[in-house]
Amino acid sequence: MSVSFENLLYDLDAASGILTLTINRPSKLNALNAATIADIDAAVQQALNNAAVRGIILTGSGEKAFVAGADIAELAALTPAQAARASERGQEAFCRIEESTKPVVAAVNGFALGGGCELAMACHMRVAADNARFGQPEVNLGLLPGYGGTQRLPQLIGKGKAIELLLTADMVKADEALRLGLVNHVVPQAELLPFCQQLLTKILGKAPLAVGMVLECVNAHYDKGTDGYKAEAEAFGRAFDSEDFKEGTTAFVEKRAAVFTGK
């Protein structure tokens, strides 16, 4: 299945339920402008409302860049009020990814700088090609991250190291990103998409409702208005009322593979 967007390729494999979204601005190293962010958000919303989509891979076109940053020429023309709104719009789109109950994997195929690093961090997991580079270089431009970078980077790698990277604008190679916990895996460029597909396929073999609840509960920990432990207990109770729970426990007793329906 293919859906048309201006700056995004939408490719759904019907057999696996894996949707691959490819940011497609290779001449701009896939830099994020307002239209591209709108495309990403629209595609994710479509995916969340499409039962045929079970998991998402987000990547960039080519082998140089996942997303090399924001479109600086577009940003430079904004007024302060317009810039604040652009930041809010990006945050809304990226939070939708983070709050998805369908797993989202970033396949980082090259530079993930500025908004690109922020987009990757909004995904549930990150797999990096061995040529990938990460960084938040905004202070070099007299700016700061505007799409959630000051919030998600400390969550992933710790406050002290995050502040260092945010203030120095240093780039991090794939192997260091793995050591810091910024990415889950590093693989050769040619193996990037197959690895991500295998990772999602493994996850999609589990109970869909339980997978979604896990994502909800992990996110609840970072919501200051939510008691994450209470959210977990409530979700645990809801799971007991699902057909997937009955199937999973029955299959365990009968020593066979469970066949989940997501109900």
The residues assigned a catalytic role are 118, 138
Task: Spell out the long-range contacts of 11-15 with Cβ–Cβ below 8 A and sequence spacing 24 or more.
Answer: 12/50, 12/52, 12/53, 14/52
Neighbouring CB atoms inside 10 A of 70's CB total 27
Evaluated on CA atoms 25, 182, 128, 113, the torsion sign reads positive
Give kind and range of the element (H or E) at residue 13: strand 8-13
* Sequence-separated (6 or more) residues with CB below 8 Å from residue 234: none
Return all residues near 221 (Cβ < 8 A) that are at least 6 apart: 228
Helices (H), the chain: 34-48, 72-76, 80-98, 115-122, 149-157, 159-168, 174-180, 192-204, 208-220, 228-239, 243-254
Element (DSSP H or E) covering residue 4? strand 2-4
Instruction: Give me the residues paired with residue 114 across strands.
Output: none
Strand order from edge to edge, sheet including 55-60: 2-4, 8-13, 18-23, 55-60, 104-108, 125-129, 185-187
Angstrom distance (rounded) from CA 184 to CA 105:
10
Sign of CA dihedral 243, 244, 249, 254: positive
How far is it, in rounded angstroms, from Cα 248 to Cα 246?
Answer: 6
